[in-house]
Amino acid sequence: MLRLRKNKKVFVAMSGGVDSSVAAALLQAQGYEVVGVTMCFNTSFADGKRPSCCGVDAIQDAKAVAQTLHIPHYVLNFSQDLQKKVIDDFFQEYIQGRTPNPCVRCNQYLKFGTLLNKVKALGADYLATGHYARIERRRFHQGFALKKSIQGTKDQSYFLYQIQQKDLPSILFPLGSLTKERVRALARKYGLRNAQKKESQDICFIPDSGYQKFLKDHLGPQAFAPGPIKDAQGKVLGQHQGIAFYTIGQRDGLGVALGKPAYVYNMEAATNTLYLGPKESLYSQGLVARHLNFVSQEYPKKTIEVEVKIRYNHPQVRAHLTCGHGVAEIYFDKPQISVTPGQSAVFYKKDILLGGGIIEKAITIDQKGKQHHGNPP
């Protein structure tokens, strides 16, 4: 097997973290010619800091691992891509009262877009990352499939659904069958300096001061006009501080005292209105999704049964999916809570990720049994 790999060159996207470092070490041990590459973003925040993913420490950690493994290491500037494809979209989504997932767009446009094309131009046979997911050749079907990691608690396939089907043969995920504990053990075995490095849980370009200040610093306070908070009957309950600062399902920090729990169940950007209701108002029968991509199968021409995740930490739930003209309608077998526009709905068949799209609106059923596309006010 090693003979097949000795002449294969793989560029590993190295963030300075333990996952991508062990991915590089494993591929080298398997006989690949490994090259490390770190995406650097020269973007600076108002406080002068850089994103955590390309601070001096992160780049130095990646470079030190490359030296330990005796592999070349390059730092490439992706500042314009980050700004145009990820951060600008992040701003616009929040202004429209939506809750974006920038990690999905980073994977779509940066890692498996610009970076993949760049390393291919540099002679790479593969691009590898430290994601916990798998790509496998199908036995009885043509092509490849994107699959969940074997260790489901660390699975990161949800963030990868926008990978193009044609690119699957050029991508490697060496950690798809490993636990985090095993990865740290391997890092110690290979003598990597970041073996115990803490895992980042935050969006890399958001500074420590938080996303609300980040939005204000870049868009200005005039972009976040206060507006009314209403109930389902249209009664004004209070005033919000700008819909960009709220999300579907939010209960705390509303500044409204009703004597009973109330949740944000709808945000109407056109009228700058926030709607509150009881927990029951958060449940939806289904959703509409756009910006679809099917990575492990062709675009479905008829209604199919799937399991869908409506956010990363949400369990897979059974649903029926119908697509047409670039739009998907998904109807859950059982109503689901807090369907959030801007988040991703990702479709699975057991452990195979079929595809996904961006949630446009919820589909709800009112008390009279009438269907609504979007939560009714």
106 is catalytic: yes
* Token pair recorded at residue 45: 């925040």
323 is catalytic: no
**Dihedral angle, C-alpha 297, 302, 305, 307, nearest 10 °:** 50
Is residue 300 within 8 Å of residue 314, measured between CB atoms? no
The angle at the Cα of 203, spanning 197 to 205, to the nearest 5 degrees, equals 100
Q: Which one of the listed residues 40, 54, 106, 323 is annotated catalytic?
A: 106
d(CA 4, CA 117): 23
Q: How many CB atoms lie within 10 A of CB 7?
A: 10
Which residue type sits at 108? Q
Contacts of 123 (CB under 8 A, 6+ apart): 9
* Token pair recorded at residue 297: 């199968």
d(CA 85, CA 296): 24
Q: Which one of the listed residues 40, 54, 204, 323 is annotated catalytic?
A: 204
Report the SS3 class of residue 266: strand
Which residues are the active-site residues? Answer: 106, 204
